[in-house]
């Protein structure tokens, strides 16, 4: 199974990626992990990326693509992978196809986690972070015993600026603008599988696995 996972902020991509990857016995690969590994290991690409990151600039596409290419060529990804965070554009999707073609492989499916805007705002704006240990809580789904106080360390909880409702809605607008052409591209190719990502975590996982297994079958 070679699949790409897409979905808006707050859709639960990280949670579902872990469950789906475990089910299919494939590595869960995120661009964030790839960047951190290259920077930590001080690879040539990591050192190149670090120059841009330290300057507060975006890492160029060619560096990101080279990192993805190297990661997908590793042994553990030979029989499949779940890729999160790449591609983000139609151009990158075409590059991914070229990378896989060079590896004598192809992309089996793209799984989109669909969540209504109001639900995403509810999920993200209710998140609270501990000043002390950095743990995240939620005013509805994961409440501490004492409101505003972290159970783990007793630190004060706060809402990050990017979790404010108006900021979340803007992030969703940007996501839609950037990702809509990519989703349409994969839909036109018949590779897109959209599932409803609301409800119990295990129910979303079941939908995701069923959608991908239908491709295998």
Confidence of residue 188 (pLDDT cuts 50, 70, 90): very high
Residues linked to residue 136 through DSSP beta bridges, in sequence order: 129
**Catalytic amino acids?**
13, 88, 127, 160, 171
- Distance between CA 186 and CA 93 in Å, rounded? 9
pLDDT digits (tens, 9 = 90+) for 72-121: 999 999 999 999 989 989 999 999 999 999 999 999 999 999 999 999 99
Question: Which pTM value belongs to this model?
Answer: 0.86
- Distance between CA 72 and CA 86 in Å, rounded? 12
147 within 8 A of 159, measured Cβ to Cβ? no
Q: Which of residues 157 and 217 earns the better pLDDT score?
A: 157
Extents of the domains making up the chain: 2-26+79-115+179-216
**Is the model's pLDDT at 217 over the cut of 70?**
no
Chain CA centroid to CA 61, Å: 17
What is the topology classification, in CATH, of domain 2-26+79-115+179-216? Rossmann fold (3.40.50)
What percentage of the chain exceeds 90 in pLDDT? 81
Q: In what order do the strands lie in the sheet with 28-30?
A: 28-30, 81-84, 2-6, 109-114, 192-196
């Amino acid at each position: 199974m070679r699949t790409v996972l897409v979905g808006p902020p707050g859709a639960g991509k990280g949670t579902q990626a872990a469950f789906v990857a475990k089910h299919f016995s494939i590595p869960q690969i995120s661009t964030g992990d790839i960047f951190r590994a290259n920077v930590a290991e001080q690879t040539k690409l990591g050192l190149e990326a670090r120059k841009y990151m330290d300057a507060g600039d975006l890492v160029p596409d060619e560096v990101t693509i080279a990192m993805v290419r190297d990661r997908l060529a590793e042994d553990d990804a030979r029989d499949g992978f779940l890729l999160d965070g790449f591609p983000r554009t139609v151009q990158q999707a075409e590059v991914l196809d070229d990378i896989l073609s060079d590896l004598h492989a192809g992309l089996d499916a793209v799984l989109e986690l669909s969540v209504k805007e109001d639900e995403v705002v509810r999920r993200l704006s209710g998140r609270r972070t501990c000043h002390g240990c950095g743990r995240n809580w939620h005013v509805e789904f994961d409440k501490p015993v004492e409101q505003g106080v972290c159970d783990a360390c007793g630190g004060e909880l706060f809402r990050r600026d990017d979790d404010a409702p108006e900021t979340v809605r803007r992030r969703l607008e940007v996501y839609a603008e950037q990702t809509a052409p990519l989703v349409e591209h994969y839909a036109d190719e018949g590779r897109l599988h959209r599932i409803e990502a609301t409800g119990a975590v295990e129910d979303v996982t079941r939908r995701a696995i069923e959608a991908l297994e239908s491709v295998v079958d």
